[in-house]
Amino acid sequence: MSRTVPVPQGLPMERDAGPFDPPRDLTRLREARPVSPLLFPDGHEGWLVTGYEAVRRLMADTRFSSRQDIGVLHVPYETPGMPVATEPSPQVPGLFIAMDPPDHTRLRRRLTGAFTVKRMKMLEEHIHDIVERQLDAMARLAPPVDLVKEFALPVPSLVICEMLGVPYEDRETFQVNSAKFLVKDQPLDEKMAAYGALTTYLAELVTRKRATPGEDILSDLARQDDLTVEELTGIAFLLLLAGHETTANMLALGTFALLEHPGQLAELRAHPELLPGAVEELMRYLSVADIFYRYATEDIELGGETIGKGSTVVVSLLAANRDPLRFDNPDTLDVRRTARGHLSFGHGVHQCLGQQLARIEMRAGFDGLLRRFPTLELALPADEVRLRTDMNIYGVHELPVTWTEAAR
């Protein structure tokens, strides 16, 4: 393995290998030095981890603190694309994705019951109904339509709103503000304004639920007196944001990827029983939640390198999921592959709480869409699709699609 690769200055982010593939520099780096030093834009040094084995080990090791994990949520302190401080960030009450045990454990534990496989199975039929209703509405429109607006975003938003007890009529508040919140280079004051609007809204909501609880997850939490309103607000914020942006982008980018791989799409249409495996493969291949941050609380050996105490460590799940040492022909989308073991839901104590829910939504979503729209196609050239290279969750801003017949 060569040690002569130049230290990257900032994260290689440009999607120069195509809309679904990792940036070329990231691939080169993984091949040459899967645990590599990295120079942040402000000049301080950190590390970038791109190899599957190293990423997996790192995420299983709580000596790598999550208190810099601003990858998905970008908490509102100055983060022009990268963390500046080499200190753990201040904790935001309730935001347990960016906490370490035991604080993390104390909060996550209260939610595991609501997201078990069994609970999710009970929701399955209902999620199918939501998908079908959304597709009915879409089929009534005259194509072309934007799949993001008409399908990919509403489905997970409706589901998470209902589970949390957030009125769907208020979606403007959270969809617009969470979208603003996920823009990578958003000026701090705008990010603060979006964060402020969202948390003000949610603080009022959880306060009402504490007074008159209903039958939903936020009410169940609000009944627990030892959780403060600030904590309830942080938890609500995390669940709402993580619960709709990620799945929505998987549905939209996944559809785009299938339309661009007609052989794979035909295979899936001919063999619907492949769908659960195909969802895992799409998760691996697309890795829409790619970049996560950790902070080394002591000197730690990883992949033959020593990561010094206090270093900021950046993880690329996309690079790890495309590692040829773990997956054969990793850059090929193959709906027949056994993609389990991918890292798209993370690994270790922070592994995605909503993963069973996301799987059910994606299976129901792709199943319904492919069945009801057998002639679905892009309504513009593929290279004109607006990619979310400017956002912390990757995907497409819009996906104009058309069809000649819609089935019931």
Determine, following the binding rule CB under 6 A, whether residue 69 of this chain makes contact with ligand HEM: yes
Among 130, 155, 282, 288, binds ligand HEM (CB under 6 A): 288
Nearer to ligand HEM, 26 or 238 (CB): 238
Q: Give the x-and-dash track for 44-63 against ligand HEM (CB under 6 A).
A: ---------------x----
Query: Taking the CB of residue 299, how many other CB atoms lie within 10 A of it?
Result: 12
- Token pair belonging to 212: 């008159």
Peptide bond before residue 144 is cis, with ω within 30 degrees of 0? yes
| Tokens describing residue 365 | 């979503």
What's the closest the beta carbon of residue 317 comes to ligand HEM, in angstroms?
6
**Among all chains, which residue has been given the structure tokens 């022009």?**
80
Extract the tokens encoding 60: 């299983």
Residue 358 as a binder of ligand HEM (CB under 6 A): the answer is: yes
Q: From the CB of 357, what's the least distance to ligand HEM, in Å?
A: 5
Indicate the residue among 29 and 97 with the shorter CB distance to ligand HEM: 97
- Cβ at position 59, least distance to ligand HEM in Å: 6
Judged by CB under 6 A, how many residues of this single chain contact ligand HEM? 25
Q: Which residues pair with 401 in a beta bridge?
A: 145, 378
Does residue number 342 form part of the binding site for ligand HEM (CB under 6 A)?
A: no
Nearer to ligand HEM, 18 or 101 (CB): 101
* Token pair listed for 39: 């120079």
Residue ranges in 71-110 that form contacts with ligand HEM under rule CB under 6 A: 96-97, 108
312, 396 Cβ separation under 8 angstroms: no
User: Shortest gap between Cβ of 405 and ligand HEM (angstroms)?
Assistant: 29
Name the CA dihedral angle for 271, 276, 279, 283, rounded to a multiple of 10 degrees. Answer: -140
Residues 292/72, Cβ–Cβ less than 8 Å: yes
In this structure, the dihedral spanned by the alpha carbons of residues 307, 309, 314 and 320, taken in order and rounded to 10 degrees, is 40
Residue 71 CB, nearest approach to ligand HEM (Å): 7
The reply on whether position 114 binds ligand HEM by CB under 6 A is no
Nearer to ligand HEM, 59 or 333 (CB): 59
Can residue 350 be called a binding residue for ligand HEM (CB under 6 A)?
yes
Q: Which of residues 306-335 bind ligand HEM (CB under 6 A)?
A: none
Contacts by 302-308, CB closer than 8 A, 24 or more apart: 302/35, 302/49, 302/54, 302/57, 302/58, 303/34, 303/35, 303/49, 303/51, 303/53, 303/54, 303/57, 304/35, 305/35, 305/36, 305/47, 307/35, 307/47
Integer Cα distance of 85 and 108 in angstroms? 26
N- to C-terminal Cα separation, the chain: 56
- Return the residue nearest ligand HEM (CB atom): 354
Query: Count of CB atoms within 10 A of residue 407's CB?
Result: 11
Of 59 and 161, nearer to ligand HEM (C-beta) is 59
The least CB distance from residue 353 to ligand HEM, in Å, is 4
H helix runs in 295-393, sequence order = 317-321, 355-372
Would you count residue 174 as binding ligand HEM (CB under 6 A)?
no
Q: Which CB sits closer to ligand HEM, 109 or 149?
A: 109
User: C-beta of 143: minimal distance to ligand HEM in Å?
Assistant: 26
Q: Pick the stretch among 80-88, 263-271, 351-359, 370-378 that binds ligand HEM (CB under 6 A).
A: 351-359
Q: Is 268 in the site for ligand HEM (CB under 6 A)?
A: no
Q: Which stretch binds ligand HEM (CB under 6 A): 119-127, 261-269, 329-337, 343-351?
A: 343-351
- Name, in order, each residue with C-beta under 8 angstroms of 140's C-beta and a sequence gap of 6 or more: none
Nearer to ligand HEM, 64 or 373 (CB): 64
Q: Which stretch binds ligand HEM (CB under 6 A): 28-36, 41-49, 189-197, 339-347?
A: 339-347
Determine phi and psi for 304, rounding to 5 degrees. 80, 5
Residues making contact with ligand HEM (CB under 6 A): 59, 66, 69, 96-97, 108, 238-239, 242-243, 246-247, 250, 288-289, 292, 344-346, 350, 352-354, 357-358
